[in-house]
Structure 1
Amino acid sequence: MMDLTSRIRFQSGSHVPVLCILVLLVDCSCSSEFRGELFTAMSGCSEGVILPVSPVNSDVVASAGQCLANCLEDSSCMSVNFCEDSQSGQVCHRLPETSNGTCYDLQAAVGCVYLEPVNVCQHGGTFNDSMSKCDCSGDFTGPYCERRYRDCSEAHKYGMRGKTSNHRIISIQPLNAPTEYEVECLLASGGWTVVEERKSSCQNDYNKTWDEYKTGWTTPCNRWLGLDALHYISNQGIATFDMSVRGSGALSGQYYYSNFKIGDEVDGYTLTYTGSFQHTSKASGNGFEYGVASKSINGQRFATWDRPDSSGCSVCDGAGWWYGTDCPETNLHKKFDTSVSSMNMAQWPDNNGVLEKVAFIKTEIKVIW
């Protein structure tokens, strides 16, 4: 066994796949092939030597991999002496110091190998000795900086703030999502991920295909995150959806939907929520439930012209939206036109329940972590 373990050591600055680290912590009976991805030889001083300091703890382990894993989980451990004992087997001595990468402080010890965890942080992260954790950079987080933030609210929770304003563009990868998404973050009030922004001064055609609504789009002044991303973000925790609307008359305010979720594609990206409430000082009405019950979109599937709903509303409205058994009067993907003579345009109720024509919308989602 010493033929292999006497020559292993963490390699400084190596990019260790997170999957390998997780396997190491859970199942430490590592194969030689697996160890080769994690360790490399410490030239000239790794075989038959120890760092002669008093250990903070010693325990019997199954392998050198388990010894190093135990050290990484112990904030007082900086390095280890891993030794063969004729009675106990393989013993891991956790040490409070390091050799500083040299052989000069080591002493000969038959059947032992000195192992020193160096930088296990990925994606440019650095190990913080005083905190015994990785300090991550950019959009990465996790014990080893191994993953993207799940959304803007998690980024805010772990300290991300805007550089010159509350706005910041980052890459996220929601829980269970197979890919990353570039999103706009509003890093205030707990961190919000922008779902949609639409202005009357921009292109007005939202009669797009199912695939376009699925993957999303960004123009110089319009943004639609995409149904796939919205599904993954909304299903990784308790989410709140914020609808901000401005338009004609007295329409200028916000409305919130709690425990908001979007189903997957197989489910038709069904929209559901369990509660709703107005902004405390600047409110609009509840457009998702405006009018008779058949016009409510809570519990309804998304539809487009190329995947229409059974009532044909997506075709006659000329826009992708959530439709029930009756065409809603508050489809925010219809055309924007606030002129008096305009017909079949996007509308939303003001705080008094009066339908007004829409000129601007911005929607955001926040997950409680």
Structure 2
Amino acid sequence: MHEQFHTCPRGFLTGASSSYQVSVRSRLECMQMCSRTHSCCGVNICPSGFNGEVNCGITEEVQSEVCKNLIAAEKVSCYFAQKKEQPQEPTTEAEETTTSTTPTTQEPTTTELWCRNGGTLNNGKCDCTIEFGGRACERLIRDCSEAFQNGYTTQPEGVYEIQPKSSPVSFPVRCEFTWGVTAVFRRLDTSLFNRDWNELAHTGINPHDPNIYDYFVGLQQLHEMTSQAAYELNVVAWIGSYSKSILYDNFTVGPESTHYAVTYSRFRPNTDFQDGFAAPPPIVFSALYRDVNGCFGQKGAAGWYGVDCSGFSLFTDGAFYWPGTGSEPVPLDRVEIKFVRQSDFYDD
């Protein structure tokens, strides 16, 4: 579906008036509505903030140029998706008879490589635009590491849409291109993160605005991303202006049927912090309305806990801690969770 549209820069919408607006379940559904409507020229897509729904503004004003005459949106996650095949003005019967016998385009043969979504052919290979991947740029990138591998190594960090292999829909994350980092969690010591199971598993916390410091992409999204390749987890712990990376190799989040159990092959020791996931396995997620091991009731906060309810939660309301190398846990001022892919995608 995405290959039928030009995705314009985030934070901007078309200045053309909308013929009508509706609330739909996803960006994909909004594009599908436009695709099925011959007179539709594009859609303004903006998150509504409720259960992942989006406000979908259908415009029927023909756009002669790609992503022109855009205006600033109220939210950075809003954007305009412009239909590639714009509706044509009606022609006379004589004109239709003449043009119907003359081919306008030639479809690529089976041996030709057809680069989609703005990609360009370069020495037999498609150079994709920053948000697309695959041999023919036919799909969205599956993580920020893919854009980094495609040559985008010096771009400023920002919000981009990704769609992991098993994910039915795309979702925005913050990409840092120095190392191809996918940032999925940010909070302060004043944040209210002790949410119920459904919100943390399926909705996330402010999932459409990864720029702010009360943000979590969601447990299901973590599972979909970490199940497609091997990933390094980086918990960036801040104490004042000092930060320290707490690193894990081959970190995975299991499916909901396992209560999003975490596994990893190695914790990399450092001089300031210990392993915050060190607990008797399985280490599963527990929250209000899905307190599988009773640890939410015992601890009073959602989080990953072992069978004896040991573990440190980042999903508290207010102050939160991480185990230090001393005898007492260390209070943190803020924390970010980031992933860098360590392998090729498993299906490649």
| TM-score (ref. length: structure 1) | 0.59
**Quick one: which amino acid aligns to residue 331 of structure 2?**
K
State the 1:214 CA deviation.
1.4
Write the deviation string for residues 230-282 of structure 1: whole angstroms up to 9, x where unpaired.
1011111111111111348x985221111111111112111111211035xx7
1:72 paired to 2:62: no
Is residue 2:179 matched to residue 1:195?
Answer: no
Give the Å deviation of 1:43: 2.1
Match of 2:299 among 312, 317, 323: 317
Q: Tell me the CA shift for residue 327 of structure 1.
A: 2.7
CA distance change for structure 1 residues 157 and 351 in 2, over 3 Å: closer, same or farther?
farther
Whether the 8 Å contact between 1:169 and 1:185 is mirrored in structure 2 is yes
Report the Cα offset of residue 137 of structure 1.
Answer: 2.0
| Partner residue in 2 for 1:253 | 244
Aligned residue in 2 for 1:155: 147
Paired residue type of 2:251: F
| CA-CA distance at 1:159 after TM superposition | 1.2
Q: Secondary structure of 1:193's partner? A: strand
Provide the C-alpha distance between the structure 2 equivalents of 1:334 and 1:297, rounded to a whole number of angstroms. 21
Q: Residues 148, 41 of structure 1: CA spacing in aligned structure 2 closer, same or farther, 3 A cutoff?
A: farther
Give distance in 2, aligned partners of 1:349 and 1:133. 48
What pairs with 1:1-369 in structure 2 (closer than 5 Å)? 43=102, 68-69=109-110, 71-72=111-112, 120-128=114-122, 131-161=123-153, 163=155, 165=156, 167-189=157-179, 191-201=180-190, 204-215=191-202, 216-218=204-206, 220-247=212-239, 252-278=243-269, 283-289=272-278, 296=279, 299-310=282-293, 312-328=294-310, 330-337=312-319, 346-352=320-326, 354-368=328-342, 369=344
Q: Give the secondary-structure state (helix, strand or coil) at the position aligned to 1:161.
A: coil
Asked whether the equivalents of residues 174 and 233 of structure 1 are also in contact (C-alpha less than 8 Å), the reply is yes
Identity of matched residues, %:
27
Residue identity opposite 1:181 in structure 2: F
Distance of 1:315 and 1:225 partners within structure 2:
24
Query: Which residue does 2:59 correspond to in 1?
Result: none
**Aligned match of 2:88:** none
Question: Structure 1 residue 41: deviation in Å?
Answer: 7.9
Q: Is the 8 A contact 1:252 1:284 kept in 2?
A: no
Whole-angstrom CA distance in 1 between matches of 2:281 and 2:214: 25
TM-score (norm 2): 0.62
CA distance, structure 1, for counterparts of residue 222 and residue 326 of structure 2: 30
Q: Rate the CA distance shift 1:161–1:169 in 2: closer, same or farther, 3 A.
A: farther
Distance 1:355 1:44, change over 3 A: closer
**Matches of 1:15 and 1:195 in 2, distance apart?**
28
Q: Measure the CA separation in 1 of the matches of 2:103 and 2:290.
A: 68
Per the alignment, residue 99 of structure 1 pairs with none
Cα RMSD (Å) of the superposition? 3.2
8 Å contact from structure 1 (residues 321, 331) kept in 2: yes
Q: Would the aligned equivalents of 2:194 and 2:317 in 1 still touch at CA under 8 Å?
A: no
- Secondary structure of 2:145's aligned partner: helix
Deviation at 1:136, TM superposition (A): 2.2
Deviation of 1:125 (Å)? 2.6
Task: Write the letter of the residue equivalent to 1:261.
Answer: T
Which sections of structure 1, spanning at least 5 residues, go unmatched? 1-13, 17-39, 47-64, 74-119, 290-295, 338-345
8 Å Cα contact 2:200/2:218 also seen in 1: yes
- Which is worse superposed, 251-260 or 299-308? 251-260
Q: Distance in 2 between matches of 1:136 and 1:154?
A: 11
Structure whose CA Rg is larger: 1
Number of residue pairs aligned between Structure 1 and Structure 2: 243
